[in-house]
Structure 1
Amino acid sequence: MALALVGLSGCSPADDSDIKRLALPIGSTDRTDYVWNLWLGAWIAVLAVFLLVFGLMVYAMIRYRRRSVDEVPSQVRYNLPIEALYTFAPVVIVAVFFFHTVTAQNSILEKVDNPDHTIEVVGSKWQWAFNYLDEPTVDGASVYDQGTPADLADLYLPVDESVRFNLMSPDVIHSFWVPEFYFKMDVVPGNGPQENSFDLTPTREGVFTGRCAELCGLYHSRMLFKVHVVSRAEYDQHLQDLREQGNIGAPQGSVKAKQIAGLDDVEEEEN
């Protein structure tokens, strides 16, 4: 077990080896270390439980094996210490997992006082739209990226600059997930208390694939988008390109995202 723990201690979320990353992608934000520490701790706990249980099994097979044809091994029906161990050990394990999970969650969801950028994420059946709220045009309107299942949306983020994501949906619950961010959050219909939000800072340039992680209907599997973490100069150039293409204002999905889908129709029928 000591050798295994030493081996796990050499793992890193930035390592090129999938094995040393314990099957996680390379981390790409300032919040990934919290998830990585939780993931590594889970592996250590699983290894410890496996070695304990497997060791007890091997011990029982050797210690109480049948040693001759005429000898019958001791038939023990109850073993209070073992039963107590199997009762209390899972409770302790779950409590420790719960504590570290909540601690990591609180660190991941900690808000930045003044984020460098604010992006409104709109998930709708079955596409994504991204409104760059703090990057207005001359008349004060924002610019946006929008896609379809056939033509995926692009989300551009400047490296090493903090971003606040405000999530909303005009129809059903979706889930904003970028595996390299080690993070996902539900995109809930309606406005107000249901609006989810989180902050992070991308730390590595590259192109990553994001997706919806909540089964949301027929084309859920095609609800993808591309995340481009780029330099600030390339980010500014992309926003300029959006202005020149006429992607100004908020896409229709963003406007309807502040309403619960179908609610207006129900109210009209009642009236």
Structure 2
Amino acid sequence: MRSNRRLRWAAIPVALTLAVVLAGCTQAELHGYLPGFKEGEAPVTDRTEMVAGLWTNSWIVLLAVGVITWGLTLWAVVVYRRRKGQTGLPLQLRYNMPIEIFYTVVPLILVLGFFAFTARDQAIIETQFEEPDVQIDVYGKQWAWDFVYKGAADGEDVWSVGVQAQEVEGASDTGAVDQDQLPTLYLPVDAKVNFDLNSRDVQHSFWVIDFLYKKDLYPGITNHMSVQPLREGTYAGKCAELCGEYHSQMLFNVKVVSQEEYDAYIQSLEDAGNVGDYGDTYNRNYTPGLTGDESEEGAES
């Protein structure tokens, strides 16, 4: 009884200390120093906090498991070490049923728990908006990006064609790139956005770092992604799948702007004549005007 009472009294200052430390944490610290958070402002997207919470809480649980495991290991090393004058092997114990049940059941509970929380969050993240405010087709290509804003100009598509990152003149040693020439994807703040992700040639991966999420692009297969940006700003993006010689230069930016600025950008694309279909026709292995059967007949002839 006395030892239990001492443990309870010892737990009180520990709990108070943890409460004070956690209360003083910044947004960055509370979310494991992941990008996408800024003190006093909304997260970058509606999915950012969910992803960060799953990641951070998982690490807390795993660190707790690690501390217990390391503690038990050190305890066994110290308590069961060979004493002076002892020879031979220590007494060998087998079939300790309580311990075997413990190290079977606890990992099973952890795995099931991780699976349940991951499946729950993934189902939410992967759900597409039924009525999006903006629909965008993203095309990855060696080694840049094309963005097609579906129906943005009175029902017609408008598009921007990207080039791979260009080094700043005289900065070959640092690898600095000209940000003004990077492909730039514009998104209106607070809008519900659905993406259709496509590849024009080989496998790529669409990764906006501050969104804490990425999605692969496969030739001949359309992948999907949805997001609601909540904070204006410019966010770096890149291809996260090794796709060839200039993979490291397959960069882009995402600009989350006001609705007025977004409308003005769409109008600038329309004024530049970037209107109409700019989809699969420009894929590397696509032959305009031929169906699959006609392509086979042409190959045979």
Give the TM-score of the pair, scaled to structure 1. 0.83
Q: Show the counterpart of 1:196.
A: 223
Q: Show the counterpart of 1:21.
A: 31
User: In the alignment, does 2:184 pair up with 1:169?
Assistant: no
Bigger mean CA offset, 35-44 vs 1-10: 1-10
Change (3 A) 1:147 1:86: same
Q: Show the counterpart of 1:110.
A: 127
Change (3 A) 1:69 1:39: same
Map 1:140-151 to 2 at 5 A. 140-150=155-165, 151=181
Q: 2:138, 2:147 within 8 Å by CA — same for their partners in 1?
A: yes
Q: 1:189, 1:259 within 8 Å by CA — same for their partners in 2?
A: no
Q: What is the CA deviation profile of residues 237-262 of structure 1, one whole-angstrom value per residue up to 9, with x for unaligned ones?
A: 111222222222243x642459769x
- 1:239 counterpart (248, 255, 266): 266
Q: 2:201, 2:284 within 8 Å by CA — same for their partners in 1?
A: no
Quote the Cα distance in structure 1 between the aligned partners of 2:148 and 2:223: 15
Change (3 A) 1:163 1:8: farther
SS at match of 1:134: strand
Q: Which amino acid aligns with 2:33?
A: A
- CA positional deviation for 1:183: 1.2
Unaligned stretches of 5+ in structure 1? Answer: none
Q: What is the CA deviation profile of residues 124-162 of structure 1, one whole-angstrom value per residue up to 9, with x for unaligned ones?
A: 11110111113125xx53211221113321000010111
User: In the alignment, does 2:281 pair up with 1:255?
Assistant: yes
Quote the Cα distance in structure 2 between the aligned partners of 1:270 and 1:69: 87
Quote the Cα distance in structure 2 between the aligned partners of 1:120 and 1:11: 43
- 1:60 counterpart (76, 81, 85): 76
Q: Show the counterpart of 1:33.
A: 49
- 2:136 counterpart (94, 101, 119): 119
Give the TM-score of the pair, scaled to structure 2. 0.75
Q: Show the counterpart of 1:213.
A: 240
Quote the Cα distance in structure 2 between the aligned partners of 1:96 and 1:260: 46
Aligned-pair Cα RMSD in Å: 3.1
Q: What is the CA deviation profile of residues 28-60 of structure 1, one whole-angstrom value per residue up to 9, with x for unaligned ones?
A: 111122212211221122112111101101221
- CA positional deviation for 1:23: 3.1
Change (3 A) 1:217 1:84: farther
Change (3 A) 1:116 1:33: same
Q: Which amino acid aligns with 1:188?
A: Y
Change (3 A) 1:107 1:165: same
Change (3 A) 1:11 1:198: farther
Q: 1:11, 1:20 within 8 Å by CA — same for their partners in 2?
A: no
Structure having the higher Rg: 2
Bigger mean CA offset, 172-181 vs 241-250: 241-250
Q: 2:31, 2:53 within 8 Å by CA — same for their partners in 1?
A: no
Quote the Cα distance in structure 2 between the aligned partners of 1:7 and 1:178: 34
Q: What is the CA deviation profile of residues 149-205 of structure 1, one whole-angstrom value per residue up to 9, with x for unaligned ones?
A: 133210000101111111112212211111211111111222xxx321222110011
Q: Which amino acid aligns with 2:72?
A: L
Quote the Cα distance in structure 2 between the aligned partners of 1:249 and 1:221: 31
Quote the Cα distance in structure 2 between the aligned partners of 1:40 and 1:254: 40
- CA positional deviation for 1:8: 8.8
Quote the Cα distance in structure 1 between the aligned partners of 2:20 and 2:53: 15
Q: Which amino acid aligns with 2:76?
A: A
Q: Which amino acid aligns with 1:149?
A: Q
Question: Number of matched residues?
Answer: 261
What is the identity percentage for the equivalent residue pairs of Structure 1 and Structure 2?
A: 39
Q: 2:193, 2:227 within 8 Å by CA — same for their partners in 1?
A: yes
Q: Which amino acid aligns with 1:255?
A: T
